[in-house]
Amino acid sequence: MNTAVIFNHETVALDAERFADCEFRECRMVYRGGEPPSFEGCSFVGCDWQFEDAAANTLKHLKTLWAVGGKAKVQAVIKTITEVGR
């Protein structure tokens, strides 16, 4: 676990990582579709979020689904995402 670390202008691999009370400043945050990371009490300033490999393929699939008439299904996925933790 990364605890109370300040990341500044770094590329941070997120898959399967755990972060607590960390600061991310102007970082490139990269998720590749593995085990989701966890963030507890972290702050983010000016970070760029990137999705690569399996994560990028999932986003491409959702875009294709939307384009072929699956708008309601994609919206349901977005609703599920935004309700996490409620």
pLDDT digits (tens, 9 = 90+) for 11-45: 999 999 999 999 999 999 999 999 999 999 999 99
Kindly state whether residues 1 and 35 are assigned to the same domain. yes
Residue 83: DSSP 8-state: T
* Rounded Cα distance, 51 and 29, in Å: 8
Residues 20 and 43 in one domain: yes
61 lies in the same domain as 38 = no
pTM: 0.85
Task: Residue 58: give the domain boundaries.
Answer: 54-86
Alpha-carbon distances, residue 31 vs 73, 76, 77, 83 (angstroms):
23, 22, 18, 21
pLDDT band at 84 (very low <50, low <70, confident <90, very high): low
| Dihedral pair phi/psi, residue 37, rounded to 5° | -75, 165
Give the mean pLDDT of 50-66: 96
The answer on 33 and 62 residing in a single domain is no
What's residue 85's pLDDT?
Answer: 61
Query: Measured between alpha carbons, how far is 67 from 86 in angstroms, rounded to an integer?
Result: 30
Task: Note whether 34 and 58 are same-domain residues.
Answer: no
